[in-house]
Structure 1
Amino acid sequence: MGANRNAPVIIRRKKVVAANGHHGGAWKVAYADFVTAMMAFFMLMWLLNATTEKQRQGLADYFSPTISLSPTSGGGDGNFGGDSIFSEDTLAQNGLGATNLKPAPRTPGPSGNNPTEEEERFAEIESRLARGGESMADDNILRHVVTRITDEGLIVEVFSLDGDPLFVDGSDEPTPLLEDLIDLIGEVFGYATNQVAVKGFSRAYPVVLLQNPAWSNSLNWSEKARSMLTRRLAPTRMERVSGHADRSPAVRPPMSIRNDRLEIVLLRSVEA
C-alpha cells in the first residue's frame, strides 16, 4: 500500500533550557548595605568607648533640636516677640530656648544677659578642672568627672565606672581614684571662697535584699568626701552633707554602677 499523500505533516520543536542561568545581582546590593551598616555600628561602638561623658553630652547637645546652633536667634521684646510655648522666661530670644524636660542653663547678670563676677569665677574654676590633667593618668581620672553650672552653683559630679569604682565595694573606703579626684577638686575650689555642699547618690539594689544599703552608702560616701575635702579646704566652708540613695539615677538602668556618684557643689553666694 502506498503512503497517504494527504496526511498532515507534524513538526515537533524541542525547547532547550540552559542550566545555571544568570539570577541577577540584587543580593550583592543587600550584602553591601549589610557590610556598611556593620562598619558604622563598630565605628559607633569605638567612638562611645573613646570619648568622655562630657564630650558625649556636648555631641548630644549639638544635635538636639531644642538648642540653637547660633549664639543669637530672632524675636523681639513684648507680646509676639518670637518666644515659643517651650521657652523658659526670655531665654529663647537669646538662642537658649528649651523645654521643661531639657532646660537650658541660666547665666544671670545685672542686665539679665551679661555674666556676673561669680559666673566668671565658676567658669574659670570649671576650666581649671578640665585642664587639671597633664598626663595620661590624669586624663583617665577626668573620665569620671562632669561639670555644670546651675542656679545652685557649680556642680562637679564624680562617678564610678565599670572596673573603676569610687569606693571599695560595700564600704566607704575610698579608692586611689577618688583620692586623686578629691585632691584635684579641693585644689580648684581653693580659688573661690564660696560654701561647699556634698551630695551622695547610690545605684539601686534588688528589692529582695533584707537590708537595702542605698541610703547608708550614699550618706557615708558624702560624709567621707566631706572629710577628705577638709584636707584642702577650711572646715567652715562645708555648708551641708546629704545622702539621696537611689532616688535620682543619672542613667538607666538604675542598677548601673554609673549611678554610684558624688555631687560636690560650689554654692552661689547668698545675696543680702
Structure 2
Amino acid sequence: MADESQRPIVVKRIKKGGHGHHGGAWKIAYADFVTAMMAFFLLMWLLGSVSQGDLQGISEYFRTPLKVALAGGSGSGDANAIVKGGGQDLTRKSGQVAKVEEQERSLEKQRLTRLQQKLRQRLEQSPVFKDYKNQLRLEMTPDGLQVQIIDEQNRPMFDSGSYRLLPHTQTILRELGRELNEVSNRISISGHTDAKPFSRGERAYSNWELSADRANAARRELLAGGMLDEKVLRVVGLAAADPLNRQNVFSSENRRIAIVVLNKETEAAILRDGLPADAAAPVGAAGPTSSGTP
C-alpha cells in the first residue's frame, strides 16, 4: 500500500484553440497549379502561332510517327520550324488583307451596278433622255461602268469638225453630271473621232486635238450639271485609235464621248503608272473646222 501511495501522478492537459503549424504542403500544390496554368496558356499561344502546314505535320506525326520520321508526310515539309520566330503568322495576315480587299471590290461592284441600273431606268423614264436613249450605251467593263454618248448620222453631238456641243448634247451631259455624284468613284473622259482626216493633214489641227477638245468640252458640261470637279481623274483624246465599229472606221458611231466611272483598282493603276503613252493627247485650243465630220 505504501508503494502505491508514492507512485507519481501524471496529469495530461489538452490545449484548445489554434490548429498549429501545418507545414508547406499547400505551397507545393499551389506551385504545381500555377505551373500547369502557365503550360496551358503557353500551349494555346504556340497553337495560335503555328501555320496550317505545321499543324498538319504534327498531326501526322502522332498518327504515324515512324512513317513521318522516315519518309516525311505531306505536312512535315510544309515549313522549316514548328514556330516561325514565335511571332505573328504573316501568311495568315496577308490572307486577311486579301479577304478585306475582295470584300471591298465586291461592295464597289454592287455600287456601280446600282448606278448602272439607276441610269438605265432614267433612260427609259426621263423625258430628257427619251429621244436620245439610242445614243447612250451603258456597260460594265474591267475598268468600271462605261457610259458612251454616240453620234447618229442625223443627230450628231457636235458641229462638223468642231468641239462645240449641240444643245441636246449639253442637256444629256448635264443630266449625267448630277447622277455621277451618286458614287464617290472618280471618272475618266475620252473623246473619239472617226478616221476621216482633216483637209490640212495630220500635222496641222488633227483628229487628236479635236478628240481632246471634245472630251474637255464634255467635262465642262458635266461640271455645269453639278458634278464635282475633283471627280475628274483624266481627260484624253484618242482620235480614231479605238473605233467602236472596226469594220467601218468612218462610221458615225465611232464619233463618241466615253465616260468611265472608274473602279478603285483602275484608279490606283492610273495614279501609279500615269497615262499610257499612246493614249495621252494634248488638250488643244479651239481649232479650225474641217470639210469632213470627224
Task: Give the TM-score taking structure 1 as reference length.
Answer: 0.55
Match of 1:234 in 2: 228
- Give the drift of 1:237: 1.2
User: What residue identity is the alignment partner of 1:241?
Assistant: V
Q: What's the secondary structure of 1:156's corresponding residue? A: strand
Q: What's the secondary structure of 2:130's corresponding residue? A: helix
Matched, 1:248 2:242: yes
Q: Among 182, 190, 198, which residue is 2:181 paired with?
A: 190
Q: Among 143, 153, 158, which residue is 2:149 paired with?
A: 158
User: What residue identity is the alignment partner of 1:194?
Assistant: N
Q: Distance in 1 between matches of 2:219 and 2:195?
A: 23
Match of 1:268 in 2: 263
- Give the drift of 1:210: 2.7
Match of 1:214 in 2: 207
Contact 1:132 1:184 in 2 (8 A): no
Deviations 1:180-214 (A, max 9, x none): 2212221221110111110111101158x332431
Match of 1:174 in 2: 165
Contact 2:185 2:261 in 1 (8 A): yes
Question: Which consecutive unaligned segments of at least 5 residues does structure 1 have?
Answer: 1-108
- Give the drift of 1:177: 2.1
Give the length in aligned residue pairs. 163
Contact 1:160 1:166 in 2 (8 A): yes
Q: Distance in 1 between matches of 2:233 and 2:138?
A: 19
- Give the drift of 1:174: 0.5
Q: CA 1:193–1:111 in 2, change beyond 3 Å: closer, same or farther?
A: closer
Q: What's the secondary structure of 1:116's corresponding residue? A: helix
- Give the drift of 1:256: 1.1
Match of 2:137 in 1: 146
Q: CA 1:268–1:115 in 2, change beyond 3 Å: closer, same or farther?
A: closer
User: What residue identity is the alignment partner of 2:242?
Assistant: S
Deviations 1:85-122 (A, max 9, x none): xxxxxxxxxxxxxxxxxxxxxxxx97989971111111
- Give the drift of 1:151: 1.9
Contact 2:173 2:221 in 1 (8 A): yes
Q: What's the secondary structure of 2:264's corresponding residue? A: coil
Matched, 1:124 2:114: yes
Q: CA 1:137–1:269 in 2, change beyond 3 Å: closer, same or farther?
A: closer
Q: CA 1:135–1:112 in 2, change beyond 3 Å: closer, same or farther?
A: closer
- Give the drift of 1:179: 1.1
User: What residue identity is the alignment partner of 1:169?
Assistant: S
Question: Which consecutive unaligned segments of at least 5 residues does structure 2 have?
Answer: 1-98, 269-294
Q: Give the RMSD, CA atoms, in angstroms.
A: 2.6
User: What residue identity is the alignment partner of 1:222?
Assistant: A
Q: Distance in 1 between matches of 2:264 and 2:230?
A: 15
- Give the drift of 1:139: 2.1
Q: Distance in 1 between matches of 2:249 and 2:129?
A: 28
Match of 1:63 in 2: none
Identity percentage over the alignment?
22
Deviations 1:201-229 (A, max 9, x none): 1101158x332431111100001111111
Contact 1:160 1:260 in 2 (8 A): yes
Q: Distance in 1 between matches of 2:195 and 2:112?
A: 32
Match of 2:286 in 1: none
Q: Distance in 2 between matches of 1:224 and 1:237?
A: 16
Q: Larger RCO: Structure 1 or Structure 2 (Cα < 8 Å, ≥ 6 residues apart)?
A: 2
Q: Distance in 1 between matches of 2:223 and 2:104?
A: 34
Contact 2:191 2:237 in 1 (8 A): yes
Task: Give the TM-score taking structure 2 as reference length.
Answer: 0.51
